[in-house]
A and B are shown apart, each in its own frame.
Chain A
Amino acid sequence: MLEIKNVTKRFGEKTAIEDLSFTIPDASVFGLIGSNGSGKSTLLRIISGVYSPDGGSVEIDGESTFEAPAVKEKCFFISDNPFFYNNSTVESMAGLYRELYSTWDEGKFIKLCGMFPIGTKDRIINMSKGMQRQAALMIALSVCPKYILLDEIFDGLDPVVRQLIKKLIMELVAENGTTVIIASHNLRELEDVCDHVGLIHKGGIVMEKDLDEAKLGIHRVQVVFEKEVGEGVFNELNIVSSRRQGKMLTLTIKGDGKVIEDSIREMNPVYMEMLPLTLEEVFISEMEAVGYDINNILE
């Protein structure tokens, strides 16, 4: 189990993460979402032991990750822009990790070399951004870590490779019981693989739930009334946002679906439909709820 306990991280006078606490269950795929600069990458770096927290701690199976080689051996971190030396090849990089990680699986590496469309003897630095990510992922998967931390892993990948990666992640979780933490803005892809999501905003956690639970806790309702109704009618509901197009009112409401539906039906609408929300819509709704000025940004 990965526990984040009251973690605070400051860069000079700027606080990137403040008193952040949550737990990531084992053998889960955890999606870390948040606005730009919310602290997702910083959190991944703290978990992987790159950064030391200014306050609090990150514990894996009860042990702090910072300066603990044995704990760090359970983790593998792929940053949003993986580093390779000018003359590095997949084989030479594998040479380093093969020796440093006792969990390295050579058979898996050979298998992955066959799966990904990149040359293992080619200089990685000359490859495209997407291919560099694939190279990093090949090595990460060959290490067979207990925790794999992926920052913007879907960026720059073509749809086929994206599907391949999602499949490999799912296999890893199923076969090894690996916990995968993915920080990404690509919510569409996250929605496919994640079973938990955590929403970070301004260095603090806004929401941390099972994905289904997150999606079930917020609803979009399209409703038409015969006569125009005032805002006060919905006072009993936890409305996150509302938009009007002619007579059609689109409401985003937090709460139990059944309760929301019953409440609105009592108002005798001419038309009413409960629409499912995508993760992206949940994200926007949640961000809106915490004061993220979405309308201003989108205009």
Chain B
Amino acid sequence: MTSTISSNKKNFKKLFKWALSRNKAIIIVYSILMAIGIVIDLYVMIMISGLRSATDQSVNAYGMIGYFSITMAQIGALLFTLISAVNTFSFLHNKRSTDMFGALPVTRGTMYLSHLLGGITAVASPFVIGSFIVMGFTCRSTEYFFAELCFILFGIMGIAASYSFTALIAYCCGTGRDTTIITIGANAIYSGVIVLFFGAASSMLPGVSFDSAFYTPIMTLFAPYMFSIFLEIYYSGGQTTAMWMTIIWDIIFTAGMIFIGMRAARTRKAETAQNDFNVKWLPVVIKAGISVLCGGLAGLGTASASEAGYSNMFIFAFWYIMIGFAAFFILHLIFQRGLKGKFLPSLIVYCCTTVGTLGIIFGLTTGLGIDTYVPAAGNVSSVSIGNTEFKEYENIETITQIHKIIAEGIPNQYQRPYFLGHSYTDEYYYGDSETWDGTFNEKYPLTTHVDFNLTYRKIIGISTVRCYYITPGNVNYYDCGKIEELLKKLYNSEEYKKMRSSVLWEADGAKINGMAPKSAELSIISPYSLDPEYGYGYDYDETSTVKLSTDEKFISGLYKALREDILADKEYYKNYVGEHYSFDTFDGDDYMRLTVYYPGRVLNYSHDPGIVSEYYSGSNYFNLRIPYAYKNTVKYLEDNGVNTGRSKNIGRADRNVIIDNGSTLLYGQT
């Protein structure tokens, strides 16, 4: 036994070397391409260094060259992975070579592993060496160093996963041609079917939507040729959860492929070479998959394009079956080299798949009524409209009522299944009182479309997400008057006001992180922007107006005083809707204006529901109307040396108190 194992190990090394030598041509060609790429990189870098003087710009530019080059090297590596894997395992697809390799004194598992690792090494070596050379001269900062290092690692993982996948396919197929077709087909078909499934679900079930962040990791599950590219996308986009999930899956997938590959190597019948599929169900599944994909795309496309009075479901089903069957028939001719053999079993599988998917589609759209489903308020712990999350039962109920009106209006506008549409647009319903005016108010008709998103978090722990695509064309299918009434009720709720008011929000102990100064440069603004509403400014000496520029303690004290006043003022609080950037109620001598500026970068990077910075997505300030009756606030300001305009007979515009990134600009003072 021991001698057998050591002989196997010895022969493994020999066959590994043999597999490497079999890939000599691929190593040479890929290395030459990498070398050409490196020369181009160097040339571009020399050009850039002549054009740019600022060091940081050069560092970024070089880093970007590194990113781009390693990505291109990865794409090249994937192409050579396919070529190399098909070539390395071609010995399985020729009766003469199976005679030679089958008779060698090695186990089939050793034969598989040695060829697999030899092939991976052959493709990965030029990639790794070339990428490290690129990294060596493009990487000038730690940030780029880690990024490029990760890209190289992703590339190696992608090569290993893709190679082991193709190797397994090679063991399942009788010819190199089938191996190539199925490798490419499986990657493309699987991803295509997933995209189709999610796309179809989103378009057929209005309101049901899937974020790409959810389905892209699923899309790559069995498409290993996309692993490395998507890992880069996740890394660059900061999608760390998706990245780590993909990395873990990549490792599991590769290990799984190798394990199954070992089993396939042991059980593969040598006589299948040049002949047939070793795994009988593989072509059946591939045929059914491609047919469903083709039929589904044709069905959805024709149903989407149809504006006639026919039932879209009928059109969908007709083309789904017609094109699906045509695809199935052609594929059968390709795979079986004619109509001979296994036509009936394949047809049965295809028919079952078609009937099953049609049944699911009919069931989901009409049978189970998922498109008109609205969760019961009692089962929901919280619900978000856009980014605004409501937790109070009364508000949840109001939202379910709005949802019900929308869901019940859907069948009026579409015939099922619904058109292919896109769920994610530039316009977005933030769930604030500003937007609904233009969406559901007929006085101010909607001029563009918005996505009205609802996320229910249920008591049992699951979420239900709905995204409605509301356009000027379909908005009137809903009872807008009723929706407007309900929305007003929602936005007048205390819960909403608290969420939308940084002052009141802080009252609950939350930290207003958008108010703190982020840098000295942002704490100074031009005096000309002091009063945008009136369109003129005051020529104050900028530096003399800035005081307490970084005094967070002052802001905190001011908010405390203001909060006490607002909460004590029942009449005001009743109508208080939070901070506002238009200031149309500023019309008397009993008020002063408090303008709060905050850094734009906080605005861009903060996405927590309710943070004030999100509320004014297009602005970097908001205004507060402060009545002089707010004694605590006025006293606090005056105690801190702020001229509120109360004691002096000055114009109302001079009664501005500006808080700028935590600073207070004092006007009227000398």
A contacts, CB < 8 Å to B: 11, 45, 48-52, 67-70, 72-73, 75-77, 79, 81-83, 85, 96, 99-102
Contact = CB atoms under 8 A, between A and B. Distances in A.
A50 to B, nearest CB: 3
Given A69-B106, A83-B94, A85-B22, A77 B11 contact: no
A10 to B, nearest CB: 10
Contacts of A68: 4
A96 B14 contact: yes
Contacts of B11: 69, 99-100
B4 A67 contact: no
Contacts of A72: 103-106
A76 B98 CA distance: 14
A11 B271 CA distance: 8
B108 interface: yes
A82 B271 CA distance: 16
Nearest to A71: B105
B96 A69 contact: no
A52 B7 CA distance: 22
B107 A75 contact: no
A48 B103 contact: yes
A58 B14 CA distance: 27
A96 B105 CA distance: 12
Q: How large is the interface on B (under 10, 10 to 19, 20 to 34, 35 or more residues)?
A: 20 to 34
B323 interface: no
B14 A99 contact: yes
Contacts of A100: 11, 14-15, 104-106
A91 B120 CA distance: 26
B217 interface: no
B107 to A, nearest CB: 6
B100 interface: yes
Contacts of A51: 102, 269-271
B99 A79 contact: yes
Contacts of A11: 271
Given A45-B270, A69-B107, A100-B106, A82 B14 contact: no
11 contacts: A45-B270, A48-B102, A50-B102, A69-B4, A73-B7, A77-B99, A82-B99, A83-B94, A83-B97, A100-B15, A100-B106
Interface string B257-291: 00000000010011100000000000000000000
B105 A50 contact: no
Interface in B470-499: none
A-B pairs with the 9 shortest C-beta distances? A50-B102, A83-B96, A73-B105, A79-B99, A77-B103, A99-B14, A72-B105, A48-B103, A83-B100
Nearest to B341: A12
B125 interface: no
Contacts of B104: 72, 100
A225 to B, nearest CB: 54
Nearest to B25: A87
B99 A83 contact: yes
Contacts of A82: 96, 99-100
Contacts of B102: 45, 48-51
A96 B104 CA distance: 10
Contact of A75 (B4, B15, B103): B103
Contacts of A81: 96
Given A75-B103, A96-B18, A70 B96 contact: no
B124 to A, nearest CB: 23
B8 interface: yes
Contacts of B266: 67
B87 to A, nearest CB: 10
Contact of A70 (B4, B18, B98, B108): B4
Nearest to A9: B271
A11 B273 CA distance: 12
Interface in B401-441: none
Give the interface centre of A49, A69, A77, A81 by most chain B CB atoms within 10 Å.
Answer: A69
A102 B271 CA distance: 28
A69 B269 CA distance: 18
A67 B108 contact: yes
B99 A101 contact: no
B3 interface: yes
A30 B107 CA distance: 27
Nearest to B10: A99
A34 B98 CA distance: 23
Q: Which of B98, B104, B108, B266 has the most CB of A within 10 A?
A: B104
A52 B102 CA distance: 10
A69 B99 contact: no
A45 B103 CA distance: 8
A178 to B, nearest CB: 16
